[in-house]
C-alpha cells in the first residue's frame, strides 16, 4: 500500500537489528507515525495497546515477537534449561496479548517450533509468515472481487483492510482488487465503537485509495438495509470455529442478523490461518474483555493538533467492553478465502 507515494507494509522486522517496526494505528488518521519495538516485550505492548491490530497484523507481530525472543537467547550466557524456560515464558506472554485472535497462536507456534532448530530458522519463519500473509490477502482480494459489480453498495464493520494485515487486508482486499479492475462501487463504513476502527482506519484507507464511501453510525445498519441501500456485507474475522461460527469485532453479529432478515449476502473474508479447527463451535472461542476506558472516553486532536483523551460518558458510571461477538454460521453466506469462496459446510474439507 502506498502512503504519500511511498510503499509501506503495515509491520516489518529488521533481521540484523531485531527491531520490529509498524504503522502506529493509534495515531491514525491524524498522524502517520512509525513505531519501533526493539524487543519482544515492546512488540507485545504494541499488540495489547492496539498500536498494531487486525487478525493478520497481530499474527505477523506475534511471529516477529517470538523471533525477537529467540534473538535474545544469543545475548544469554546460561544453561539450556533456563533458555527454554525463557522461551516458554516469552511464548506465554505473546499468546496472552489478544486471546481471541487465532492468527496470533498460529504464528507463535510456527516460529517457536522453527526456532528450536536455530535462531536463523526462527527469523526465516517469521519473515515467511509475513510474506504468506500478503499472498493470502491478495488471493482473498482476487477471489472476492468477483462478488463486486459496478454500482455495488457494500457495508463493512471494523477495519479489515491493509492495516489489519501486512498488506491488502481481508474484507477490504476484494474492494482494492475491484478498484484495480475499474469497477465503481460505494462503501458504508461502520464507525465501530468503541475504538472507531471504521471511522478512523477504514475510512482513511478508502480515502487513500480514492474509493467513494461514507462513515455511518454503528446502529444505522438496519435502517440502510431496510431501505434497500445495501447490496452486501463483507467483514473480516479474528477466529473461525470448525463449524463456521465466527468471532469478529463487537457488533458484527447484529449486522449478520439484519442482513439475514432482508436477504442481503453476508460474507466473511479470512485466510485459512484464522480458522481454528480445534474448536467445534463458536461457544469455545475466548472473548477478550478490554478496558472500560475505551467506552467511557474518546481520543482525538485538539485545535492545535495535539491528541487528547476526554471523558464522554456520565461521571461515576462504569462500562462493559467485550471486544468481540460470535456470529453463528447459519447467518453467513460464505467465506472468502485465499483458496476460494466456500460455505461453512464446505470449508471443513480444506482443513490443513
Number of folded domains in the chain?
2
* Domain end residue (candidates: 84, 106, 137): 137
Q: Give, for 89, the enclosing helix (H) or strand (E).
A: helix 80-95
What's the confidence (pLDDT) of residue 351? 67
Rounded distance, CA 144 to CA 158, Å?
A: 18
What's the confidence (pLDDT) of residue 75? 77
Same domain, 57 and 105: yes
CB–CB of 186/217 below 8 Å? no
Same domain, 280 and 155: yes
Q: Is 120 helix (H, G, I), strand (E, B) or coil?
A: helix
Same domain, 190 and 153: yes
* Domain end residue (candidates: 111, 137, 163): 137
Rounded distance, CA 88 to CA 72, Å?
A: 13
Same domain, 339 and 238: yes
What's the confidence (pLDDT) of residue 180? 96
The grid cell for 291 is 478496558
- 276 as an active site residue: the answer is no
Same domain, 100 and 62: yes
| Residue 235 CA from chain centroid, whole number | 10
Same domain, 105 and 187: no
Mean pLDDT, each 10-residue run in order, the chain (352 residues): 88 96 96 96 96 93 97 78 90 95 94 95 97 96 98 97 94 97 98 96 95 97 98 97 96 98 98 94 95 94 88 95 97 97 86 59
182 lies in a domain? yes
142 lies in a domain? no
What's the confidence (pLDDT) of residue 304? 86
- Residue 201 DSSP symbol: I
Of 19, 90, 10, 92, which is closest to residue 58 (Cα–Cα)? 10
Domain encompassing residue 97: 2-137
61 lies in a domain? yes
Q: What is the CB neighbour count within 10 angstroms for residue 108?
A: 23
Same domain, 100 and 157: no
What's the confidence (pLDDT) of residue 349? 76
CB–CB of 137/229 below 8 Å? no
Q: Give, for 77, the enclosing helix (H) or strand (E).
A: none
The enclosing domain of 68 has a CATH number of 1.20.120.420
Q: What is the CB neighbour count within 10 angstroms for residue 227?
A: 9
What's the confidence (pLDDT) of residue 228? 98
DSSP E strands, the chain: 2-3, 6-7, 11-13, 20-23, 34-37, 153-156, 186-190, 213-216, 232-235, 239-241, 246-249, 266-269, 275-276, 297-301, 307-311, 324-327, 334-337, 340-342
The grid cell for 168 is 491488502
Q: What is the CB neighbour count within 10 angstroms for residue 73?
A: 17
- Residue 289 DSSP symbol: B
Rounded distance, CA 44 to CA 65, Å?
A: 7
What's the confidence (pLDDT) of residue 77? 65
Same domain, 69 and 186: no
Rounded distance, CA 211 to CA 184, Å?
A: 8
Catalytic pick among 72, 136, 167, 238: 238
* Domain end residue (candidates: 137, 170, 192): 137
Amino acid at each position: 500500500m502506498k502512503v504519500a507515494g511511498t510503499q509501506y507494509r503495515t509491520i516489518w522486522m529488521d533481521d540484523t537489528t531485531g527491531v520490529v517496526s509498524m504503522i502506529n494505528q493509534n495515531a491514525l488518521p491524524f498522524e502517520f507515525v512509525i513505531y519501533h519495538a526493539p524487543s519482544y516485550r515492546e512488540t507485545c505492548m504494541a499488540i495489547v495497546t492496539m498500536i498494531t491490530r487486525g487478525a493478520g497484523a497481530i499474527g505477523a507481530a506475534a511471529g516477529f515477537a517470538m523471533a525477537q525472543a529467540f534473538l535474545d537467547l544469543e545475548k544469554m550466557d546460561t544453561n539450556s534449561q533456563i533458555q527454554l524456560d525463557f522461551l516458554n515464558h516469552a511464548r506465554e506472554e505473546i499468546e496472552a496479548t489478544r486471546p481471541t485472535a487465532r492468527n496470533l497462536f498460529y504464528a507463535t507456534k510456527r516460529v517457536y517450533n522453527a526456532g528450536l532448530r536455530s535462531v536463523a530458522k526462527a527469523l526465516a519463519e517469521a519473515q515467511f509468515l509475513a510474506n504468506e500473509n500478503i499472498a493470502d490477502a491478495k488471493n482473498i482480494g482476487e477471489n472476492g472481487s468477483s462478488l463486486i459489480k459496478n454500482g455495488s453498495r457494500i457495508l463493512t464493520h471494523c477495519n479489515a483492510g491493509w492495516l489489519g494485515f501486512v498488506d491488502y487486508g481481508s474484507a477490504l482486499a476484494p474492494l482494492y482488487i475491484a478498484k484495480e479492475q475499474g469497477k465503481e462501487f460505494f462503501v458504508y463504513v461502520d464507525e465501530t465503537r468503541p475504538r472507531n476502527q471504521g471511522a478512523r482506519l477504514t475510512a482513511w484507507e478508502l480515502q487513500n485509495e480514492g474509493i467513494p464511501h461514507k462513515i455511518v453510525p454503528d446502529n444505522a445498519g438496519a435502517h440502510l438495509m431496510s431501505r434497500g441501500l445495501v447490496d452486501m456485507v463483507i467483514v473480516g474475522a479474528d477466529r473461525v470455529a470448525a463449524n463456521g461460527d465466527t468471532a469478529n469485532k463487537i457488533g458484527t453479529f447484529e449486522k449478520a442478523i439484519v442482513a439475514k432478515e432482508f436477504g442481503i449476502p453476508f460474507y466473511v473474508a479470512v485466510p485459512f490461518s484464522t480458522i481454528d479447527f480445534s474448536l467445534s463451535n463458536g461457544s469455545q472461542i475466548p472473548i477478550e474483555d478490554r478496558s472500560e476506558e475505551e467506552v467511557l472516553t474518546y481520543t482525538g486532536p485538539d485545535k492545535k493538533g495535539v491528541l487528547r483523551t476526554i471523558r464522554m460518558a456520565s461521571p461515576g458510571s462504569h462500562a462493559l467492553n467485550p471486544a468481540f461477538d460470535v456470529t453463528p454460521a447459519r447467518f453467513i453466506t460464505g467465506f472468502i478465502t485465499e483458496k476460494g469462496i466456500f460455505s461453512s459446510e464446505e470449508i471443513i474439507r480444506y482443513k490443513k
